[in-house]
Amino acid sequence: GAQGRRHFEREVCYNGQRYLADQSLWHAPSRNEQLAMAQLAPQYGFFKEQLPAFLKGEDEDCSWGYTGCQIAHVEAWRAALEAGAEWLMLLEDDVLPIPVFGMDWADVWGVVAQQVHDLRARGEEWDLLYVGKGSATSAEGPFVTPLVIEAGYNLKMHCYCLSRRGLSRMLSAELSYMSIRPQDEILAALSKKGRHPRACVAERVQRCFPTCDEFRALAFPFWGIVFQLQSFRLLRSSSH
């Protein structure tokens, strides 16, 4: 109960489901943690040249906004599993097909559905499939189909799919109902089977997601086939 909660823990109840916000891990890595992460990251397949980008991606505090985002995703997973869905494609409200491919959302859905079909036909089981993603800061694996690869570590979750096995694993794990870091960081850690260079995050993922070493994340390569809208600052130039 509430009396057993530590001072940095807060409980939130939404739609009958309890979520625990553990603020002890909400802070960005300290300088000493960053140094330790930089030493450990290459052992987990992170690119040395990408370490500054990796550390910059991790240098953000968690917040109640991120907690709300996590709850929204988990509630979508719950609804899909309860409805008997074989797989789910989830996208946030600021995502568009990448213009260079000349596709609309019907085309995106068709491509994704075809890849899910092809994976099944090849006997390839999977849990998570990134449809759109950020630049990987760790090594990605080989192609599983002509359009899908084994995922590396990336900090984007604006559009992804979960298989029925993935939905079941996510919803069976205590970690899904615990806000410790932004959810894209958790999915990225699962893509590396829980091997996160930040020791406290790795320990929590491995303890609260017991099947993380069996979790399989795939991705459309590069940035995927959809992208997330960004804010750009317009600068005046002498030519305008």
What are the helix and strand counts (H, E) for the chain? 7, 11
Rounded Cα–Cα distance for residues 206 and 215 (Å): 11
Place of tokens 């739609």: 15
Token readout for 16 is: 């009958």
Instruction: Work out the average pLDDT over 21-28.
Output: 90
- pTM here is 0.89
pLDDT in tens, 128-167: 999 999 888 888 999 999 999 999 998 889 999 999 999 9
In the chain, the amino acid numbered 190 is L
Is the dihedral angle over the CA atoms 213, 218, 223, 227 positive or is it negative? negative
Residue 128 vs residues 133, 160, 189, 190, 226: alpha-carbon distances, Å: 12, 7, 12, 9, 16
Residue-level pLDDT at 39? 87
Place of tokens 């609309």: 104
Whether residue 147 contacts residue 119, with contact meaning beta carbons closer than 8 Å, is answered with no
| Distant-in-sequence, close-in-space partners of 198: CB < 8 Å, separation ≥ 6 | 29, 33, 36, 37, 58
Question: What is the band of 231 on the pLDDT scale with cuts at 50, 70, 90?
Answer: low
Residue-level pLDDT at 239? 42
pLDDT in tens, 43-76: 888 887 877 877 887 888 888 899 999 999 999 9
pLDDT in tens, 15-24: 999 999 999 9
Q: Please, what is the average pLDDT of the chain?
A: 90
Residue 188 has pLDDT above 50, yes or no: yes
Instruction: Work out the average pLDDT over 219-240.
Output: 73
Rounded Cα–Cα distance for residues 77 and 79 (Å): 5
Residue count of the chain, please give it. 240
